[in-house]
Each structure stands twice: as C-alpha cells, then as structure tokens.
Amino acid sequence: MNIDKKIVDDLVANDVSFVTTVPCKQLAGVIEEVDVREDIFHIPSNKEDEGMGLCAGAFMGGKRPAIIMQNTAIGVTINTLATLTQFYRMPLPMIISYRGELREPVACQVEMAVHTKALLAQLNIPTYHFHWKDDVKEFDNILKYTFMCNKPVAILTDANFWGGYGDQ
Amino acid sequence: MIRSEILKEIAPILNPHLVVCNIGLPSQELHMIDDNERNFYMLGTMGLSSSIGFGLALAQDKPVISIDGDGSVLTNLGTLPTIANNATGNFTLLIIDNGSYGSTGDQPTYAGMKTNLTNVARACGCENVVEVQDKDLGTVLQAAIDSEEMTIIVCKCDSGNIKLPVITMDPVVIRHRFMEAVKG
C-alpha cells in the first residue's frame, strides 16, 4: 500500500477538492500526490493560519477543504482555530506531520511534540494518531466524521507511520 | 475621508457582491451602513480577510471583494504572494490604508511610515495594483469589479473612527446566511 496515494484517494473519494499545504519533509510525497491530482485544487500557503483562512473561504464557496501541515503549526494557529474554524463551525481535516515523536532525528522538534496533543485537547479538537502504516485505513472514516460534525479534526502522522525520517 | 465615510460611499457598489469584511470597526461600520446576507463579518482572526475572500473566490465564480486594512495586511503579509501566484479574475482586495490600527485606538502602522503597501503588493507579484485617494475610490472599485481581472486597491485615507456597538449576530448565522447567498 502506498500511503501517499491512499491518503489522496480518500480525500478525492470524500469530495475534498481544495487542499492547502505548508511543507514538511515527511509530507513531501503526499503533497506531490495532491499536486498532480486533477480533482484537487492545490494552493500552497506561506503560513498555516493563512491556509486556514483560504480553507474557510473555500468551504463557504461550496468546496470541501483540507490542510496539510506540520505539528509546529498548532503553535501558530490556535487563534485561527478558535475564532474562525470553531467559532463559525467549519469542517477542516488537518493532516499533520507529527515531528518530534519516535524516530525523530532533530531534538528541537521534540519541544513542540510534547505540547501538541495537550494543545489539541485544550481546544477540544478530535485527534487521531497514526503510528503504524495500517492506521491509514481509518482515514476515510475520519474524513466522513469531520464533515459530519463541522469541526477541525487533527490527524497526527509520526515518523514511524511514514517509515522513518530520512536515514533514521 | 475616514473609513466609515468611504464605506458609506461605496456601499451601493459593494451591495450586489459577496464581501468579506475585516475584523472590528470595518465590519461594524458595514453592518450599520448596509447589513445584508452577502456580507461576511469577521468577528475575530485579524489578518485573514484577504485569505478568506481569496479562498471563496477560488471556490466559485461570483465576484468577491475582501475589505482589509493596512494593519491587517501587515499581520498576514504572506497573503500577497499567495494571491499573486494564484490570481483569479473574480477577486478584488480593497486595502483601506489609513496608516493606523483603527479598531485598537489608532496606533500608527508601518504602512503610514516608510512601508508602501502598493509597492509591496507589486513586489509580491500582484499585476494590477491601483493606489487611489479616498474620494476617487468608487470609480476605481467599480472598474476593478467590471474588469474581471484580479485587482489590489490601496485606498489612502485619513485615520479616525465613529462610535459603534459590536456585532451581536451569532457567527453561525452570519456564516449560514452568507453561504446561502453564495449559492443563490
């Protein structure tokens, strides 16, 4: 199973047609896959809160959006999640590279990793953690759940899920 | 002219179109002048008016006008390259540039000092950037909407505010009626 293709297949199957991305090495494959799909409009963002604004607009324009970003972004998007996505009750699947977890080579990434789940819990954001490759099978259900409840939902994907980080 | 006077003057031009309006006084002023279901009022999230409006313009065909301020654009400066590189003809970004953070007490912004937002927008790759003085905005705005080419308007004006109540409409109501207008 190719994880990148599976994730993007599920996005398309759930009618997600507007995807914004802020890059991460672990997410390079899935971003590349998003970029080549004709069913998806891919717009890279310079910052994740900007991306959430784009997604809010796209949702109100009738498209199902998604954002792909690193977990460090949780540190910069809390205000946007609370006062835009949650306050106006908008759905937003957030496919998040969970840096700083097992098999992480960069120590600084751990500093945000230890806060990631606590911050998401504080915001009452439904959170799923993909650690094993097979966990991706839940993705389709998570997307359906997100658009059922009109909430931001976090899918944390760690280095082990992606098969390791670089040479690790 | 101050922002509320400008909004009063351009309200008939904005009225038929989808408008995403900046947080704070701009939304309160537009709400007072011409509340209708085609207005999306931002109740929080400073800086994202251009991003929300741009996402909306990319997702559907109707014209969209984002009303922003110089302080808010400085907060989300990364928006200008994104807009420039994904241009869509149904989007107009109107930056009311009064050189101050109006909603928080008219503290000066850098746009009122050395930073020129018109030049910044051009340097970011925006192709149609028009700087206009407040009294001439109406003609320029109508022309931008009619041109069907994405336009960034930087409207230079005076700083100053009028006293207004906050918007008490529920955000989900604002969003729902706006989405119905988008569909209609």
Tokens of B51: 């991003």
B44 touches chain A (CB under 8 A): yes
Q: How far apart are CA B21 and CA B49, in angstroms?
A: 6
A167 or A89, higher pLDDT:
A89
B55 touches chain A (CB under 8 A): yes
Please, which residues 14-43 of chain A have a Cβ atom closer than 8 Å to chain B?
A: 18, 41, 43
Tokens of B167: 């918007």
Confidence (pLDDT) at A122? 98
Q: Could you tell me which CATH number the domain at B3-183 has?
A: 3.40.50.970
- Mean pLDDT value across chain A: 96
Parse chain B into domains and list their residue ranges.
3-183
Which is nearest to B18 in space by CA: B64, B51, B56? B64
Confidence (pLDDT) at A147? 98
pLDDT tier, B44 (very low <50, low <70, confident <90, very high otherwise): very high
Confidence (pLDDT) at B102? 87
Give the helix/strand (H/E) hosting A130: strand A127-130
SS percent in chain B: helix, strand, coil, step 5:
45, 20, 35
Instruction: Give B135→chain A minimum CA distance, Å.
Output: 30
Q: How far apart are CA A122 and CA A152, in angstroms?
A: 13
Percent of chain B's residues with pLDDT above 90: 97
Confidence (pLDDT) at A168? 44
Confidence (pLDDT) at B54? 98
Structural domains of chain A, with CATH: 3-158 (3.40.50.970)
Contact B51 A89 (CB under 8 A): no
Is B123 in contact with B149 (CB distance < 8 Å)? no
Percent of chain A's residues with pLDDT above 90: 95
The model's pLDDT over A110-138, given as tens digits with 9 standing for 90+, comes to: 999 999 999 999 999 999 999 999 999 99
Residue length of chain A: 168
For residue A167, CA distances in Å to A71, A103, A105, B22, B94 come to 21, 10, 9, 46, 48
User: Span B61-80, mean pLDDT?
Assistant: 97
Residue for token pair 């199902």: A64
User: Span B29-42, mean pLDDT?
Assistant: 98
Grouping H, G, I as helix, E, B as strand and the rest as coil, residue B77 is: coil
The model's pLDDT over B141-171, given as tens digits with 9 standing for 90+, comes to: 999 999 999 999 999 999 999 999 999 999 9
The model's pLDDT over A72-112, given as tens digits with 9 standing for 90+, comes to: 999 999 999 999 999 999 999 999 999 999 999 999 999 99
Q: Is the pLDDT assigned to residue A165 strictly greater than 80? A: no
Q: How far apart are CA B137 and CA B104, in angstroms?
A: 25
Q: Is the pLDDT assigned to residue B100 strictly greater than 80? A: yes
Q: Which residues of B touch A90 (CB under 8 A)?
A: 175
In chain A, DSSP finds a helix count (H) and a strand count (E) of 6, 6
User: Span A17-46, mean pLDDT?
Assistant: 96
Q: Is the pLDDT assigned to residue A167 strictly greater than 50? A: no
Q: How far apart are CA B43 and CA B39, in angstroms?
A: 12
Outline where DSSP puts E strands in chain A: 16-21, 41-44, 64-70, 92-98, 127-130, 152-158
Is B94 in contact with B66 (CB distance < 8 Å)? yes
User: Span B3-29, mean pLDDT?
Assistant: 97
pLDDT tier, B65 (very low <50, low <70, confident <90, very high otherwise): very high
Q: How far apart are CA B64 and CA B55, in angstroms?
A: 10
Q: How far apart are CA B43 and CA B22, in angstroms?
A: 8
Percent of chain B's residues with pLDDT above 70: 100
User: Span B46-70, mean pLDDT?
Assistant: 98
Q: Which one of B82, B174, B182 makes the best mutation probe of the A interface by having the most chain A beta carbons within 10 Å?
A: B82
